Structure 1
């Protein structure tokens, strides 16, 4: 039965990685507006505090934790700290990620490893650390941020596409292994959104014209468009949704 509380997250703690700006910040805001106490994460303490202050100014319950999601020991220490000082992490959003563009034949090896550490290793490290806490409790929601590049390629971003394809399949594997313990693991796949990382693409008139013609909704996404999908996947309303990738892309993955 759907009730007024089916999509509410009151009393739940949500950890959102890479949430000092952009998509992560928008997701944190949406979860907070649905009632969750949000823990923002990043490596820059100053940016995190600015983000937290903005959300607190909207009346949301917010905490911050500075740690590197690509370092397993730091991740485990941070998760232990959150659980001991704030309470059980019931919602995890693995959002931290990066993009490095360039011709595949010239792509530097260090950049490949950095991209994989940030986009794939972090999902494994944080997901595993949080799942170890969720499993004994028999409940939890994990949302991994995928991409339309989990399904589709573009010139000059093959390593990024490989990393997001890996996140898609890791999401499915997590759901298979942890679903029997009461944990829902799903992916959220953004299309092309206006963020700090896409400013140059937005300003590129030729690219924007191509994108609008390619997108059935005929516009760039605004980060606020992602919040409702994240709240749904984190809520009781998605109790039987597991191993699914929900694409929020204006229809890009639906058309040639």
Structure 2
């Protein structure tokens, strides 16, 4: 599965017009989840937009409490109903906790793919050990692993596993909850490129081959995040951001 470099993270978006505007501006990867409680909003936005469904990659995630095999199917069917779609392009295991059991959960995802309700299977917040166990029980290829990734939190082992096993690494919260604006190195690089710190953080991720799903609501921010894909950082600039010593994980388990 090849994902667009910049997609739309929708956690906290409650207005379908925002989703429709993003699609009309050129976003083709839309990411939601059961726990966000806005799948219906995303679905309404898709219906409002002029872009054909087949041009969109729509992803959602099965929450941890729904990962028993019988609940995987029931909750996914409910997600599809809320989205107003007959299938999603990418279905994630949201976190390998609570009801998750690779031996029983993952075959349920395979069955959804076999039945055409899901095009590809992904995982989210998986460590390399979790990925190794998942591959033992999942017949479908892992299409993506979605993890928190930004200049203050860099799970490089997850990136190495994605590169070694040829699947997409999707970085959520690429702006570190807005904290990138307070990082002097990022601001200096932004000034050198006549760009924003947000665009530099996104470009830094893209330079490493990581796909990103920043959340944005205003048209200006939606446009700016897409434009970050055109920003090229030098190896030296990437290394300066890599060298930031401050660490902060926004969404620990």
TM-score under structure 1 length normalisation:
0.36
Q: What's the TM-score once normalised by structure 2's chain length?
A: 0.36
